[in-house]
Amino acid sequence: MKISDIFEETYFSLMSNKVRTGLTMLGIVIGIGSVIGMVSIGQGAQGNIESRIQSIGSNLILIMPGAQRGVGMEVSSGRGSAQTLTLDDASAIASSVSGVEAVAPEISRRYQVTAAGTNTNVSVVGTVSSYPQVRNVAIDQGSFITDQSVQDFSKVAVLGPSARDDLFGTGAQAIGQMIKINKVDFKVVGITQAKGGNGFGSQDDMIFVPLTSAQRYLEGDTYVTTISVQAQSQNVMSDVQQQITSLLLERHHISDPTLADFNVLNQSDIVAAASSVTSTFTILLGAIAGISLLVGGIGIMNMMLTTVTERTREIGLRKAVGAKSKDINVQFLTESVALTFMGGVFGFILGWVLAFLVTQFAGITTQISLSSVILAFVVSAGIGIVFGYYPAKRAASLNPIEALRYE
Amino acid sequence: MIECLDIVKIYKNGDVETPVLKNVSFKINDGEFVAIMGPSGSGKSTLMHILGALDTPTSGVYKLDDQDVSKLSDDQLANIRKNKIGFVFQSFNLLSRATVIRNVSLPLIYSEVPKEERIKKAKQSLVLAGLPENRWEHLSNQLSGGQMQRVAIARALVNDPSIILADEPTGNLDTKTGEVVLATFQELNNKNHHTIVLITHELYVAQHADRIIHIQDGLIIKDEKNQNKRIVNNDLN
């Protein structure tokens, strides 16, 4: 039997009962559509989270305070409680660790901030001039904190766009205005560019002041809460991380690394951790959608078995006029694969529309990757073979004499 | 040419053996029009299945055009049916949602005949079977019983077979339409010298053939030339 004839026979069989063909295909359409739609949501979330993490800086290493322990004491006061990181640690890192591009120590805490008649609770970050470079912050108006203002303990502030909107009104001119942080007057000298993102930890909802001013006027202390280090390249990151750890252990006179009073975090570790969460999420969504695909496949098998029974006499006739078992087998298998493959095509369109609608109306980023499309087609054709195999085999094994007699 | 020598067919159902054909031998020459006649249960259907290469005998030799068909595999039997045999069934067995042309050309797809040639051959067969041309593009379920059987005859002719096996071809038709179908067979036999084997339980139908083989309880009880052949005037249709 020629391939063109097989396709023609398949076309005639599927077209001879359009409603049933359509309904059977619907199972696969919904299955493939939901797999593509769901996985696109998962992959969109993954891409979104990764780009957010990338946006906090490139080749970033963060040094955070760890748990403080007194000598010979068993009581831990909890992570992040140590107040042992200092500006000197930051300078030491900058001067003696190789492969470091820039270092930005910071001290941050939330304060109630007031301007003319308005007030807001916002994170105030005391930092130095290298902060924008390390943490990917761009200046929209005015300038960032300069080395001079750090040296001079200047009472100047740079506002994030959200903080500016809250204090002065959306898009208002704020440069030159005064704000009060913890009852101390600061003069606004710059506005950072919006980075997007929302909720906790958004860099738009921050106020930046010189590190020294924050320590003297706000904290009354000399420790820093985070040291951000930018490595020169991706390749040297783990080496830099290693050097920083040894340097700080030495400076803090700690011999046992497990008792370190600081944590050194690598940006790629954070990305990896977040990715593993989102890929689990993607797999979960895909698996749920996969169940509907399985149900669709069983629908195909059910329909094909019904068809074989219904067309028993036709099968008998085909065998009587010279069809071999193989011809019958191929014909029925082609029918089921054609059904699932077309289901896959329509399912892809459905999944694409679903992803589009989710992005439009729910505001969730979606991403349809080539791999999920290829997977959908391979899976749909595979389902046709798997669930069409048994009915086709049954059709092929019919005895022509019995089949012709079948009522 | 058909040669059957000591054909025995025994059906086994568990331990129970049912002999259906006990010892059947006969010969049918090319161009003959033979009726195989017997009551139901006589074994005539089983004999037709063996003659049509749908089944093989338990023992004995069946030669079709000097080729021994009695010990072939399923796929080899399918090839014999494809090239040498045309079937006409009592219940027509047409594909109901397909056109007449597609029904007639169906056997040729298994011989991998190109599409244009299939249509050409199908049209030639339809002319031989006497179906009016204005019916050729109809769906087969839009035809009358007699027309359906003519389509089935055309389908049996399309691969230019050595024998045409007709199993109760008039069983589902009224007497008058049945006559038309039998007339078609007579004409194919007279003009085109096709070998036709007609299986029936009715003497009246069998009398349209030139020779009648009577079969009963799995044995041939009489094999004779038909003395009072009924000639149908083909103008009836």
Give the pLDDT confidence score for residue A204 in this predicted structure. Answer: 82
Over the stretch B8-61, which tens digit does the pLDDT of each residue have? Answer: 999 988 889 999 999 999 999 999 999 999 998 899 999 999 999 999 999 999
Which segments of chain B are extended strands (E)? 2-13, 16-28, 33-37, 59-64, 67-68, 85-88, 163-167, 195-200, 211-216, 219-225
Q: How far is CA A363 from CA A325, A358, A359, in A?
A: 54, 7, 5
Domain that holds residue B154: 29-56+74-236
User: How many CA atoms within 13 Å lie on the side-chain side of B160?
Assistant: 5
Higher pLDDT, B144 or A48: B144
Alpha-carbon A2 to chain mean position: 49
The reported pTM is 0.75
Chain A CB contacts of B152 under 8 Å are none
Give the pLDDT confidence score for residue B237 in this predicted structure. Answer: 45
Q: What total number of domains does chain B contain?
A: 1
Facing residues of A180 across strands? A114, A185
Between β-strands A156-159 and A206-210, what pairing exists: parallel, antiparallel or unpaired? antiparallel
Give the pLDDT confidence score for residue B203 in this predicted structure. Answer: 92
Output the CA torsion sign for A174, A180, A182, A184. Answer: positive
Are the C-beta atoms of A212 and A150 separated by less than 8 Å?
yes
Output the domain CATH number for residue B91: 3.40.50.300
Output the CA torsion sign for A302, A307, A312, A318. Answer: negative
Residue B69 in domain: no
Tell me the one-letter amino acid at B207.
Q
Distance from CA of A401 to the nearest CA of B (A): 7
Residue B90 in domain: yes
Mean pLDDT by 10 residues, chain A (407 residues): 90 90 91 89 84 79 74 52 78 88 89 88 90 86 90 91 88 87 90 70 83 86 86 86 89 82 83 84 86 88 91 94 94 93 92 90 84 85 92 93 88
> Tokens in use for B56?
């093989």
Chain B, nearest residue to A326 by Cα: B75
Task: Test B93 with A5 for CB contact under 8 angstroms.
Answer: no
Task: Test A2 with B49 for CB contact under 8 angstroms.
Answer: no
Distance from CA of B124 to the nearest CA of A (A): 18
Residue of B82, B89, B98 with shortest CB distance to A322 = B82
Output the CA torsion sign for A262, A265, A270, A276. Answer: negative
Tell me the one-letter amino acid at A35.
V
Average pLDDT over residues B121-150: 92
Note whether B155 contacts A: Cβ–Cβ < 8 A. yes
Rg of chain A's alpha carbons, rounded to an integer?
Answer: 33
- Give the Cβ contact number of residue A30 at 10 Å: 21
Distance CA B165, CA B156 (A): 8
Q: How far is CA A143 from CA A106, A140, A194, A392, B165, in A?
A: 18, 8, 15, 75, 101
> Tokens in use for A326?
């193989």
Give the pLDDT confidence score for residue B158 in this predicted structure. Answer: 94
- Give the Cβ contact number of residue A390 at 10 Å: 14
Does the pLDDT of residue B119 top 80, yes or no?
yes
Mean pLDDT of chain B: 92
Task: Test B110 with A16 for CB contact under 8 angstroms.
Answer: no
Note whether B77 contacts A: Cβ–Cβ < 8 A. no
Chain B CB contacts of A323 under 8 Å are 78, 110
User: How many CA atoms within 13 Å lie on the side-chain side of A385?
Assistant: 6
Q: Give the residue extent of every domain in chain A.
A: 3-52+273-405, 83-260
Looking at residue A214, the DSSP 8-state letter turns out to be I
Are the C-beta atoms of B69 and B163 separated by less than 8 Å?
no
Q: Which one of B50, B72, B95 would you mutate to disrupt binding with A, by most A Cβ within 10 Å of its Cβ?
A: B95
> Tokens in use for A280?
């689990």
Looking at residue B99, the DSSP 8-state letter turns out to be B
Give the pLDDT confidence score for residue B236 in this predicted structure. Answer: 45
Note whether B160 contacts A: Cβ–Cβ < 8 A. no
Note whether B81 contacts A: Cβ–Cβ < 8 A. yes
Q: How far is CA B124 from CA B55, B119, B121, in A?
A: 30, 9, 5
Using the structure block, give the residue that is written with the tokens 């006559």: B179
Chain A CB contacts of B110 under 8 Å are 1, 318, 321-324, 327
Looking at residue B176, the DSSP 8-state letter turns out to be H
> Tokens in use for B181?
């179908």
Tell me the one-letter amino acid at B53.
A
Average pLDDT over residues B183-208: 92
Over the stretch B60-111, which tens digit does the pLDDT of each residue have? Answer: 999 999 999 998 999 999 999 999 999 999 999 999 889 999 999 999 999 9
